[in-house]
A and B are shown apart, each in its own frame.
Chain A
Amino acid sequence: EVQLVESGGGLVQPGGSLRLSCAASGFTFSDHYMDWVRQAPGKGLEWVGRTRNKADSYTTEYAASVKGRFSISRDDSKNSLYLQMNSLKTEDTAVYYCARPNSSFDYWGQGTLVTVSS
């Protein structure tokens, strides 16, 4: 059974940093691209970014709203995905989901809440 479990969310002040993790199981993690998607409270879904697999050189893509502030990485030996978030803004407050793209997103984690507030 495919499982994605996010962790690392919490309360952080504007300008601060936070690192989210996503632990994957039930599939060959190293074969897959992996993404982060977020959802602000009461709002719709927003794609954050993607890391490709080793075969595609672990290259990344980002939404314009986070480019230069957020960084996606992975550790295939630990079946883990990461989202390093720097220079956080109040508008980054959201539930952050890791998701597996198989063209569309066929598996999602349960999400972890990040609150950016003073």
Chain B
Amino acid sequence: GAGVSQTPSNKVTEKGKYVELRCDPISGHTALYWYRQSLGQGPEFLIYFQGTGAADDSGLPNDRFFAVRPEGSVSTLKIQRTERGDSAVYLCASSLLAGGDGSPLHFGNGTRLTVT
């Protein structure tokens, strides 16, 4: 079946610009996560949705970062006034449930963001 889809796969933008990264999770998965992966590092948590609401956004680095999931399916990560330090691979993952059942996360291939 279809996995987690992320678009675009690559995004190059100039410093100061606004970008949107899209994630289409596996159908029926209620939990959706955004992680950021810098070169040589493991995925770093950004935000987690349960349904339409952000259950935990404690990983967002500052108020330039925002994410939405208005209908409980597709999510968009939005970055305002991009900085060169935002350059990384942004990973989206979904899971069937969240909480005590420990459902594994299913990852997309990521969006590589480069800020010049």
> Do A and B originate from a single complex?
no
